[in-house]
């Protein structure tokens, strides 16, 4: 199987975000107000799998409207995100990097996608959905969708970015996988499994792509980089630290499995766009 790592823009967030800070209103306030000198740039990764049953895209990155000229544009960002999220993310989407622009450069159009999988509903994972009309299926976990009505998620997952998209909502079921032993087997053949890794959000899914005896684990935002699970450092902007730790423990177990080709995180500063074959 081939898995393409795509960078669909970046975020420039407080330097405290990748390795946490206790989760509190005060720390969230500090992250929103972080001065430019205390911010770091992280990629926003999407992943395109060439699977025997079709092309599968995981997450969608930023939309062109946040960055019409390809540079940081605070006024444009505020037309897409509420002020608090605009202050948190400082998103940039350079020319040619929007998900549909990158797919088109590979000769792929939305109608060629058999599935778009959303790991969770935060805006850096859903904003690009508007460029993907025509994809055959868009899937999100029922647990993620259902809890989006909670005040804390309403504040961080703007409905305008995804509510109008027709999505299949899948149920996690009992499984040997994941900290909750909850997963969804997309094709019923274990080749693509969405595994509940709560903590960052309730319904967040990690995605396992399996081919032969090997697998790649996409950790979504349960870990911002491998250092999170290697050193058990919870990323910031989470919701429930104890669950984040359980999810990191599970990722560490999976990473130690001899079949694990790679663990890839959505916002790893060391990530480079490339193709993983396994
Ligand atoms: Zn994210």
Distance 126 CA to ligand 1 centre (A): 9
pLDDT at 21: 61
Give the distance (Å) from ligand 1 centre to CA of residue 221: 5
What is the distance between the terminal CA atoms of the chain, rounded to a whole angstrom? Answer: 6
Query: Please, are residues 82 and 231 in contact by the beta-carbon 8 Å criterion?
Result: no
pTM assigned to the model: 0.96
Kindly list the protein residues that place their beta carbon closer than 5 angstroms to ligand 1, a single-atom ion.
Answer: 124, 221
Query: Of 103, 91, 46, whose CA–CA distance to 64 is shortest?
Result: 91
Dist. CA 157 → ligand 1 center (Å): 11
Q: In this predicted structure, what is the pLDDT of residue 44?
A: 98
Tell me which residue has tokens 């019409």.
68
CA of 196 to the centre of ligand 1 (A): 16
265 C-alpha to ligand 1 centroid (Å)? 9
CB-CB neighbours of 151 under 10 Å: 6
What does the pLDDT profile of the chain (278 residues) look like in tens digits?
A: 999 999 999 999 999 888 876 667 777 778 888 999 999 999 999 999 999 999 999 999 999 999 999 999 999 999 999 999 999 999 999 999 999 999 999 999 999 999 999 999 999 999 999 999 999 999 999 999 999 988 888 889 999 999 999 999 999 999 999 999 999 999 999 999 999 999 999 999 999 999 999 999 999 999 999 999 999 999 887 788 899 999 999 999 999 999 999 999 999 999 999 999 99
Q: What is the DSSP letter of 65?
A: G
Q: Give the C-alpha distances (Å, rounded to integers) separating 104 from 43, 130, 172, 245.
A: 20, 15, 33, 38
């Amino acid at each position: 199987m081939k898995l393409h790592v795509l960078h669909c823009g970046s975020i420039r967030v407080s330097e405290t975000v990748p390795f946490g800070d206790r989760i509190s209103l005060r720390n969230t306030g500090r992250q929103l107000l972080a001065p430019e000198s205390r911010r770091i740039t992280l990629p926003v990764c999407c992943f395109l799998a060439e699977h025997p049953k079709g092309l599968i895209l995981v997450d969608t990155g930023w939309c062109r409207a946040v960055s019409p000229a390809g540079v940081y544009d605070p006024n444009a960002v505020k037309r897409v995100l509420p002020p608090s999220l605009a202050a948190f993310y400082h998103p940039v989407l350079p020319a040619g990097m929007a998900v549909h622009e990158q797919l088109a450069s590979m000769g792929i159009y939305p109608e060629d996608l058999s599935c778009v999988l959303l790991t969770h509903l935060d805006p850096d994972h859903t904003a690009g959905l508007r460029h993907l009309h025509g994809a055959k299926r868009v899937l999100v976990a029922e647990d993620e969708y259902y809890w989006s009505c909670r005040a804390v998620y309403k504040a961080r997952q703007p409905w305008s970015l995804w509510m109008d998209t027709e999505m299949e909502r899948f149920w996690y079921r009992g499984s040997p996988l994941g900290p909750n032993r909850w997963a969804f087997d997309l094709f019923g053949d274990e080749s693509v499994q969405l595994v509940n890794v709560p903590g960052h959000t309730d319904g967040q899914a990690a995605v396992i792509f399996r081919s032969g005896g090997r697998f790649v684990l996409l950790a979504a935002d349960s870990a911002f980089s491998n250092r999170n699970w290697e050193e058990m450092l919870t990323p910031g902007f989470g919701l429930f630290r104890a669950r984040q730790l359980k999810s990191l423990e599970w990722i560490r177990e999976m990473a130690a499995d001899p079949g694990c080709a790679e663990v890839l995180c959505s916002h790893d500063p060391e990530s480079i766009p490339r193709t993983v074959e396994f």
